Chains A and B, each alone.
Chain A
Amino acid sequence: DGGITQSPKYLFRKEGQNVTLSCEQNLNHDAMYWYRQDPGQGLRLIYYSQIVNDFQKGDIAEGYSVSREKKESFPLTVTSAQKNPTAFYLCASSIDATGFLETQYFGPGTRLLVL
Protein backbone atom coordinates (compact mmCIF):
# COMPACT_ATOMS: atom_id res chain seq x y z
CA ASP A 1 0.00 0.00 0.00
CA GLY A 2 1.26 3.46 -0.89
CA GLY A 3 1.17 6.07 1.81
CA ILE A 4 2.85 8.03 4.52
CA THR A 5 3.89 6.55 7.81
CA GLN A 6 4.83 8.41 10.95
CA SER A 7 6.38 6.98 14.04
CA PRO A 8 6.00 6.79 16.89
CA LYS A 9 2.30 7.47 17.47
CA TYR A 10 3.09 8.94 20.91
CA LEU A 11 6.41 10.35 22.04
CA PHE A 12 7.48 11.62 25.41
CA ARG A 13 10.22 14.17 25.82
CA LYS A 14 12.11 15.07 28.96
CA GLU A 15 13.26 18.59 29.62
CA GLY A 16 16.40 19.46 27.67
CA GLN A 17 16.14 16.44 25.42
CA ASN A 18 16.11 16.37 21.62
CA VAL A 19 13.65 13.97 20.03
CA THR A 20 13.20 12.92 16.41
CA LEU A 21 9.90 12.22 14.70
CA SER A 22 10.01 9.91 11.73
CA CYS A 23 8.16 10.45 8.45
CA GLU A 24 8.45 8.05 5.51
CA GLN A 25 6.54 8.00 2.21
CA ASN A 26 6.50 5.48 -0.62
CA LEU A 27 4.45 7.63 -3.00
CA ASN A 28 7.53 8.80 -4.91
CA HIS A 29 6.58 12.39 -4.05
CA ASP A 30 9.16 15.13 -4.37
CA ALA A 31 7.79 17.49 -1.72
CA MET A 32 7.37 16.83 1.99
CA TYR A 33 6.08 18.98 4.83
CA TRP A 34 5.83 19.13 8.61
CA TYR A 35 2.89 20.75 10.36
CA ARG A 36 2.06 21.32 13.99
CA GLN A 37 -1.44 21.37 15.45
CA ASP A 38 -2.28 22.98 18.78
CA PRO A 39 -5.76 23.00 20.37
CA GLY A 40 -8.00 25.64 18.82
CA GLN A 41 -5.52 26.48 16.08
CA GLY A 42 -5.12 25.65 12.42
CA LEU A 43 -2.25 23.54 11.16
CA ARG A 44 0.95 25.58 11.05
CA LEU A 45 3.88 24.86 8.75
CA ILE A 46 7.19 24.09 10.45
CA TYR A 47 9.46 23.08 7.54
CA TYR A 48 9.08 21.89 4.00
CA SER A 49 11.30 20.27 1.41
CA GLN A 50 10.77 20.38 -2.33
CA ILE A 51 13.70 18.17 -3.32
CA VAL A 52 16.30 15.97 -1.68
CA ASN A 53 19.01 17.84 0.22
CA ASP A 54 16.98 21.05 0.27
CA PHE A 55 14.47 22.38 2.77
CA GLN A 56 12.90 25.69 3.75
CA LYS A 57 11.62 27.16 6.99
CA GLY A 58 7.90 27.55 7.46
CA ASP A 59 6.10 29.86 9.86
CA ILE A 60 7.27 28.31 13.13
CA ALA A 61 10.70 26.75 12.45
CA GLU A 62 12.39 27.97 15.65
CA GLY A 63 13.40 25.08 17.88
CA TYR A 64 13.08 22.50 15.10
CA SER A 65 15.46 20.99 12.57
CA VAL A 66 14.99 18.67 9.59
CA SER A 67 17.00 16.74 7.05
CA ARG A 68 16.15 15.37 3.62
CA GLU A 69 18.89 12.92 2.69
CA LYS A 70 16.51 10.55 0.91
CA LYS A 71 13.43 11.26 -1.19
CA GLU A 72 11.22 9.03 0.96
CA SER A 73 12.29 10.32 4.38
CA PHE A 74 11.89 13.69 6.12
CA PRO A 75 12.62 13.38 9.87
CA LEU A 76 11.84 16.25 12.22
CA THR A 77 13.96 16.88 15.30
CA VAL A 78 12.40 18.81 18.15
CA THR A 79 15.33 20.39 19.95
CA SER A 80 15.62 21.58 23.54
CA ALA A 81 15.31 25.12 22.17
CA GLN A 82 11.63 24.48 21.43
CA LYS A 83 10.09 25.68 24.69
CA ASN A 84 6.57 24.48 24.09
CA PRO A 85 6.83 21.24 22.10
CA THR A 86 3.64 19.56 23.33
CA ALA A 87 1.50 19.28 20.20
CA PHE A 88 0.27 16.98 17.45
CA TYR A 89 2.67 16.76 14.51
CA LEU A 90 1.57 15.91 10.99
CA CYS A 91 3.79 15.03 8.08
CA ALA A 92 2.57 15.41 4.50
CA SER A 93 3.83 14.97 0.96
CA SER A 94 2.84 16.07 -2.52
CA ILE A 95 3.88 15.22 -6.06
CA ASP A 96 4.69 18.79 -6.96
CA ALA A 97 8.18 20.03 -6.39
CA THR A 98 7.55 23.61 -7.44
CA GLY A 99 4.84 24.87 -5.16
CA PHE A 100 1.78 24.12 -3.07
CA LEU A 101 -0.87 23.74 -5.79
CA GLU A 102 -0.90 19.97 -5.61
CA THR A 103 -2.95 17.95 -3.14
CA GLN A 104 -1.11 17.09 0.03
CA TYR A 105 -1.24 13.57 1.45
CA PHE A 106 -1.00 13.34 5.21
CA GLY A 107 0.37 10.79 7.63
CA PRO A 108 -1.45 9.69 10.80
CA GLY A 109 0.48 12.04 13.07
CA THR A 110 2.65 11.87 16.19
CA ARG A 111 1.56 13.29 19.52
CA LEU A 112 4.48 14.70 21.48
CA LEU A 113 4.18 15.14 25.22
CA VAL A 114 6.66 16.69 27.60
CA LEU A 115 7.35 14.91 30.90
Chain B
Amino acid sequence: ILNVEQSPQSLHVQEGDSTNFTCSFPSSNFYALHWYRWETAKSPEALFVMTLNGDEKKKGRISATLNTKEGYSYLYIKGSQPEDSATYLCAFIRSGGSNYKLTFGKGTLLTVNP
Protein backbone atom coordinates (compact mmCIF):
# COMPACT_ATOMS: atom_id res chain seq x y z
CA ILE B 1 0.00 0.00 0.00
CA LEU B 2 1.44 3.34 -1.07
CA ASN B 3 1.40 6.12 1.51
CA VAL B 4 0.82 9.64 0.26
CA GLU B 5 0.68 12.09 3.14
CA GLN B 6 -0.41 15.70 2.99
CA SER B 7 0.20 18.24 5.71
CA PRO B 8 -1.27 20.15 7.29
CA GLN B 9 -4.73 18.64 7.13
CA SER B 10 -6.25 22.13 7.22
CA LEU B 11 -5.01 25.68 7.25
CA HIS B 12 -6.59 29.08 7.91
CA VAL B 13 -4.81 32.19 6.62
CA GLN B 14 -5.66 35.84 6.19
CA GLU B 15 -6.08 37.42 2.78
CA GLY B 16 -2.69 38.52 1.51
CA ASP B 17 -0.72 35.91 3.48
CA SER B 18 1.56 33.55 1.61
CA THR B 19 1.28 29.90 2.51
CA ASN B 20 2.63 26.50 1.65
CA PHE B 21 1.83 22.87 2.26
CA THR B 22 3.48 19.53 1.73
CA CYS B 23 2.87 16.28 -0.08
CA SER B 24 5.08 13.35 0.96
CA PHE B 25 5.35 10.16 -1.07
CA PRO B 26 7.61 7.10 -1.38
CA SER B 27 10.94 8.18 -2.88
CA SER B 28 11.59 4.90 -4.70
CA ASN B 29 10.19 4.18 -8.17
CA PHE B 30 8.88 7.69 -8.70
CA TYR B 31 6.99 8.27 -11.95
CA ALA B 32 4.95 11.47 -11.57
CA LEU B 33 3.08 13.70 -9.14
CA HIS B 34 -0.18 15.52 -9.78
CA TRP B 35 -1.60 18.52 -7.89
CA TYR B 36 -5.32 19.31 -8.03
CA ARG B 37 -7.48 22.03 -6.53
CA TRP B 38 -11.00 21.12 -5.39
CA GLU B 39 -13.35 23.94 -4.53
CA THR B 40 -16.50 23.14 -2.61
CA ALA B 41 -19.40 22.11 -4.86
CA LYS B 42 -17.15 22.02 -7.92
CA SER B 43 -15.07 19.41 -9.72
CA PRO B 44 -11.39 18.94 -8.91
CA GLU B 45 -9.25 20.79 -11.43
CA ALA B 46 -5.67 20.12 -12.36
CA LEU B 47 -2.89 22.45 -11.28
CA PHE B 48 0.34 20.66 -12.17
CA VAL B 49 1.82 17.38 -13.33
CA MET B 50 5.42 17.06 -12.23
CA THR B 51 7.88 14.42 -13.37
CA LEU B 52 11.48 15.54 -12.87
CA ASN B 53 13.47 15.96 -9.67
CA GLY B 54 13.96 19.67 -9.06
CA ASP B 55 10.95 20.53 -11.22
CA GLU B 56 9.32 23.83 -10.44
CA LYS B 57 5.97 24.79 -11.94
CA LYS B 58 4.02 28.02 -11.68
CA LYS B 59 0.47 29.08 -12.46
CA GLY B 60 -0.30 32.65 -11.47
CA ARG B 61 0.26 32.98 -7.72
CA ILE B 62 0.54 29.22 -7.22
CA SER B 63 3.78 27.33 -7.63
CA ALA B 64 5.05 23.86 -6.81
CA THR B 65 8.42 22.22 -6.35
CA LEU B 66 9.40 18.57 -6.49
CA ASN B 67 12.09 16.57 -4.70
CA THR B 68 11.89 12.96 -5.85
CA LYS B 69 15.02 11.84 -3.99
CA GLU B 70 13.57 12.69 -0.59
CA GLY B 71 9.96 12.14 -1.59
CA TYR B 72 8.16 15.44 -1.19
CA SER B 73 6.53 18.28 -3.10
CA TYR B 74 5.64 21.72 -1.82
CA LEU B 75 2.76 23.84 -3.06
CA TYR B 76 3.09 27.58 -2.49
CA ILE B 77 0.42 30.25 -2.75
CA LYS B 78 1.65 33.83 -2.78
CA GLY B 79 -0.68 36.55 -1.50
CA SER B 80 -3.64 34.24 -0.76
CA GLN B 81 -7.08 35.41 -1.86
CA PRO B 82 -10.48 34.18 -0.65
CA GLU B 83 -11.00 32.49 -4.03
CA ASP B 84 -7.98 30.28 -3.25
CA SER B 85 -10.05 28.59 -0.55
CA ALA B 86 -10.25 24.94 -1.57
CA THR B 87 -8.92 21.48 -0.82
CA TYR B 88 -5.57 20.87 -2.49
CA LEU B 89 -4.92 17.27 -3.46
CA CYS B 90 -1.71 15.61 -4.52
CA ALA B 91 -1.56 12.26 -6.27
CA PHE B 92 1.50 10.06 -6.76
CA ILE B 93 2.26 7.61 -9.56
CA ARG B 94 4.80 4.87 -9.02
CA SER B 95 6.77 3.43 -11.90
CA GLY B 96 7.17 -0.24 -12.60
CA GLY B 97 4.68 -2.89 -13.58
CA SER B 98 1.81 -2.44 -15.97
CA ASN B 99 -0.64 -0.92 -13.58
CA TYR B 100 0.12 2.78 -13.38
CA LYS B 101 -2.43 4.64 -11.29
CA LEU B 102 -2.85 7.70 -9.14
CA THR B 103 -2.67 7.30 -5.37
CA PHE B 104 -4.23 10.37 -3.76
CA GLY B 105 -3.45 12.00 -0.45
CA LYS B 106 -6.28 13.12 1.81
CA GLY B 107 -5.79 16.76 0.88
CA THR B 108 -5.07 20.05 2.61
CA LEU B 109 -8.12 22.25 3.20
CA LEU B 110 -7.16 25.89 2.82
CA THR B 111 -9.46 28.65 4.08
CA VAL B 112 -8.53 32.24 3.26
CA ASN B 113 -10.30 34.79 5.42
CA PRO B 114 -11.01 38.21 3.88
Contact = CB atoms under 8 A, between A and B. Distances in A.
Nearest to B6: A42
B43 A40 contact: no
**5 tightest Cβ-Cβ pairs between the two chains A and B:** A42-B104, A103-B46, A106-B43, A43-B104, A99-B100
B: contact size bracket: 20 to 34
A90 B44 contact: yes
Interface string B10-47: 00000000000000000000011010100000111110
Interface of A: 4, 35, 40-45, 48, 56, 58-59, 90, 99-109
Contact of A4 (B4, B34, B43, B105): B43
Contact of B51 (A56, A101, A105): A101
A100 B43 contact: no
Contacts of B93: 99-101
Contacts of B49: 101-103
Contacts, number: 55
B89 interface: yes
A59 to B, nearest CB: 8
B46 A41 contact: no
Majority-rule SS of A interface residues: loop
Given A103-B46, A104-B34, A108-B42, A58 B101 contact: yes
Contacts of B4: 42
B100 A44 contact: no
12 contacts: A4-B43, A42-B4, A42-B106, A99-B100, A100-B93, A102-B49, A103-B46, A103-B49, A106-B36, A106-B43, A108-B42, A108-B43
Contacts of B34: 103-104
B65 interface: no
Identify which of A43, A44, A90, A101 gathers the most chain B CB atoms within 10 Å of its CB.
A43
B103 interface: yes
Contact of A43 (B42, B51, B89, B99): B89
Given A45-B101, A101-B31, A109-B43, 14 more contacts: A4-B43, A40-B106, A42-B103, A45-B102, A56-B99, A90-B44, A99-B100, A100-B93, A100-B102, A101-B32, A101-B51, A102-B49, A104-B36, A105-B46
